[in-house]
Structure 1
Amino acid sequence: MLLALSLAAAAPPAFAVPGGEIGTLPTGRYQCERQDDATGLVSIRIPEGDFRVRASSSYAAEGKRGSYLLTGDHMVMTSGPFEGRAFRRASYGSLREIGSSGEPGKVRCVLGMRVMP
């Protein structure tokens, strides 16, 4: 009995997830742009990359819906029109796309300003 209690105490919490805690992104429209020069000061809008984050880990783009998974600062679109697209959260409303090699890419998507009523 004592052995069982000590093993239970040593076990990691059941809610632990590899990569960090599961979360959701702030809802709203994310507008995407690509860095166009080495300094990062010039950017070109990529409207076809835009998406809208909705409630319950879902997003909409191109008139279709999909879902995403956010663990820690890593977000991947798991279904829908952008399935497989991955990002690293840089700040509250800013995402940096991750390339197939796992390195940060030149595309970033930023949560648009919200207009207060």
Structure 2
Amino acid sequence: MALLDQGEYICALPGDAAGSAWLEQDARDFTIIGGSSYRSGNSAGTYLMEGKQVTFTRGPMRGMKFMRLGSGILQEVGSDGKLGRLRCHRSGPVKN
């Protein structure tokens, strides 16, 4: 079973040419804390990684799916199976 890199993940939507390149979505940020566990806000949960597909199985992000694009980079997968606009990247180690 593969695991995501531990650390803080910041999520953002693409901006536009008239403003910011990325629009951070603070409410969507999460932390991979070890094994197949994560923390989002004051709650925790688990995820399953199969190949490049990441599915959050328990906790506040339950049901969300992402595609791993590279080391520390995830892109949301919609219910239609297509890549969405939300991207999350590992910004650093787990903060205590």
Does TM-score exceed 0.5, indicating one fold? yes
3-state SS of 1:29 partner? strand
Give the greater-gyration-radius structure (CA). 1
Counterpart position of 1:15: none
State the shift of 1:30 in Å: 0.3
TM-score w.r.t. length of structure 2: 0.89
Identical aligned pairs, as a percentage? 33
Identify which range, 90-99 or 28-37, moves more after superposition. Answer: 28-37
Q: How many correspondences in the alignment?
A: 91
Distance 2:75 2:13 in 1: 10
Q: How big is each residue's C-alpha offset from its partner over 1:53-94, in whole Å with a ceiling of 9 and x where there is no partner?
A: 011100000211100000100000000001001000000000
Q: Looking at both structures, which has the greater relative contact order when contacts are Cα pairs under 8 Å and sequence separation is at least 6?
A: 2
3-state SS of 1:112 partner? strand
4+ runs deviating over 6 angstroms: none
Distance 1:28 1:113 in 2: 6
Give the aligned CA root-mean-square deviation in angstroms. Answer: 1.5
Distance 1:35 1:99 in 2: 16
Say which structure is richer in strand: 2
